[in-house]
């Protein structure tokens, strides 16, 4: 009777484990598609689900220990729980990789924005120099003169 109750409970735990791990896998896959402001909440939700799975695995281990040591059911469920633990480690690793990819993409986006900002500043400087040279020519009139622009310095002869 105790074995049947334990195996029934373990069956329920396994079903709950399957649902939770499927949800975790789905949420990890969707992290990259979330808006920037939603990503932190998405990561935290996956972390909470992983804690729930950890608690579930601990409950499963306790239930397996209550089974008769000579029972074939105990050996079967011990192997399954070990397998589930390995699966959970894999999910932890997948989350870490997904977070790392998000960080890399965020860093790349920030660098590209910085590069674009530098380019706009350089264009502005270039146009400022051209305007300055134009003003110098107008001031000197139509006489013979030469202007030489060296980077940001302008020398008029």
* List of residues 6+ apart from 141 with CB closer than 8 A: none
Is pLDDT above 50 for 153? no
In angstroms, the CA 30 to CA 101 distance is: 13
Band the pLDDT of 157: cuts 50, 70, 90: very low
Q: Do the beta carbons of residue 54 and residue 27 sit within 8 Å?
A: no
For 13-32, the three-class secondary structure string (H helix, E strand, C coil) is HHHHHHHHHHHHHHHHHHHH
Confidence at residue 112, expressed as pLDDT on a 0 to 100 scale: 62
**Superfamily assignment of 2-106 in CATH?**
t-snare proteins (1.20.58.400)
Q: Do the beta carbons of residue 24 and residue 49 sit within 8 Å?
A: yes
Band the pLDDT of 132: cuts 50, 70, 90: low
Exposed, middle or buried, 111 (CB in 10 Å: 0-12/13-18/19+)? exposed
SS3 154: strand
Is pLDDT above 70 for 90? yes
Domain boundaries, the chain: 2-106
Is pLDDT above 80 for 138? no
pLDDT (tens digit, 9 = 90+) per residue, 44-76? 999 999 999 999 999 999 999 999 999 899 999
State which H helix or E strand residue 153 sits in. Answer: strand 153-156
Stated pTM of the model: 0.67
Band the pLDDT of 103: cuts 50, 70, 90: confident
Is pLDDT above 50 for 17? yes
In angstroms, the CA 57 to CA 71 distance is: 20
In angstroms, the CA 67 to CA 23 distance is: 29
Band the pLDDT of 37: cuts 50, 70, 90: confident
Q: Do the beta carbons of residue 141 and residue 152 sit within 8 Å?
A: no
């Amino acid at each position: 009777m105790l074995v049947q109750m334990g195996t029934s409970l373990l069956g329920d735990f396994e079903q709950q484990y399957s649902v939770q791990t499927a949800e975790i896998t789905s949420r990890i896959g969707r992290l990259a598609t979330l808006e920037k402001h939603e990503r932190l909440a998405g990561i935290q939700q996956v972390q909470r689900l992983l804690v729930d799975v950890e608690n579930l695995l601990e409950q499963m281990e306790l239930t397996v220990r209550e089974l008769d040591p000579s029972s074939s059911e105990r050996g079967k469920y011990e192997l399954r729980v070990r397998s589930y633990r390995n699966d959970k480690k894999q999910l932890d690793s997948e989350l870490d990789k997904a977070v790392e990819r998000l960080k890399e993409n965020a860093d790349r986006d920030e660098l590209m924005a910085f590069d674009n900002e530098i380019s706009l500043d350089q264009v502005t400087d270039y146009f400022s120099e051209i305007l300055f040279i134009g003003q110098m020519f107008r001031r000197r009139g139509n006489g013979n003169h030469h202007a030489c622009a060296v980077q940001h310095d302008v020398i008029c002869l």
